[in-house]
Homo-oligomer: A and B are copies of this chain.
C-alpha cells in the first residue's frame, strides 16, 4: 500500500451537520496541491492524453505561424510590418499599379500614389480582380482611384492586403471596415469587426450599432444590440439615441423589438424553471 500513502492521506473533519466523518485528500499530479477526493478530477490516462493534445496543438500553431511568415509579403512601401522597415531599405517593388486616395479630407495632401501589384490586388479582392480583368480604365491606366478615404487608411488597407496585419485604433478600424466591405476583403472585415467588438462599451455602443448596421457588420450589430438591450433604462437619456431617432428611426425600432423579445424569453425561461 506504499503508493496509496504517497498520493493520499486520511484525516478527520467535521461536516456541516456536525457528524464526525472521514474524507480523503488526493495530490493533483498537475498543480501538486491536495484536493478533496470528493472533488473528482480526471484519471491519470485522461490527464496524460490532455497533455499530448496540448503539445500537438502547440506544434500545429508553430507550423502555421511559420507558414504565415513565409506567405506574408513585404508591402511595396515603407510599413511597420515590412521586414525592410527597420533597415529603411526599400527593394525595387516591381509595382505595376498605383492606388490614389481621392477625397482625403485632412487637407494635408496632395498624397503620393500607393504602389501595388495587380496580382496581389486581384488575389485578395474579387472587386479588384473584376476591375483589372475586365480591362476597365483602371487596368489600362494603371491607376486605381479610391474615393472617400484618407491616405493613411489607404496605406493601411494596401498593407493589410500584403501582410494580413494592421495596427488599428477605433477610427482606423471603421475606415478599414468600410474599405473591406467595398472591396470584399472578408478577412480584413472580420479582423475589424472583432476589434470593434473588443472595444465595445456603453458609450460607443449606439454609434457602433448604427455604423455596423450601415456596413452590414453582423458581429458588431449583435454585440452592440445585446449591450444596448441590457441597458434600456439608460437608453433614452443618451444624445446618440436622439440623433439616431432623427436620422434612422427604423434602427431605434429594431432596438425596442430586440429588447421586447429578450424580455419575453427571460419571462418564459423563468416560468419554465419555476414549474420544474
> Which A residues have a C-beta under 8 Å from some C-beta of B?
1, 3-4, 7-8, 15, 21, 23-24, 26-31, 33, 35, 37-47, 50, 53-54, 57-58, 60-61, 64-74, 76, 91-96, 117-120, 122-124, 129, 132-133, 164, 187, 190
Contacts and interface: CB of A to CB of B under 8 A. Distances in A.
A43 B43 contact: no
14 contacts: A4-B23, A7-B38, A26-B37, A26-B41, A28-B42, A30-B50, A31-B42, A35-B44, A37-B37, A39-B44, A53-B54, A70-B164, A70-B187, A96-B96
Contact of A30 (B3, B42, B132): B42
Given A47-B50, A67-B68, A92-B132, 17 more contacts: A4-B38, A26-B43, A27-B40, A28-B43, A35-B45, A57-B58, A57-B61, A60-B61, A61-B61, A61-B64, A70-B164, A71-B71, A73-B119, A74-B123, A91-B129, A92-B133, A96-B96
Contacts of A124: 70
How many copies of this chain does one complex carry?
Answer: 2
Contacts of A60: 61
B76 A119 contact: yes
A186 to B, nearest CB: 8
A61 B61 CA distance: 6
Could you say which of A24, A122, A123 has the most chain B C-beta atoms within 10 Å of its C-beta? A123
B71 A94 contact: no
B43 A122 contact: no
A15 B46 CA distance: 25
Nearest to A73: B123
A120 B93 CA distance: 10
Listed from nearest, the 7 A-B pairs whose CB atoms lie closest are A35-B43, A64-B64, A71-B71, A30-B46, A70-B187, A7-B40, A57-B57
Nearest to A186: B70
Max chain B CB contacts within 10 Å: which of A15, A47, A67, A120?
A: A67
Contacts of A44: 35, 39-41
A129 B42 CA distance: 55
Given A71-B164, A91-B133, A24 B21 contact: no
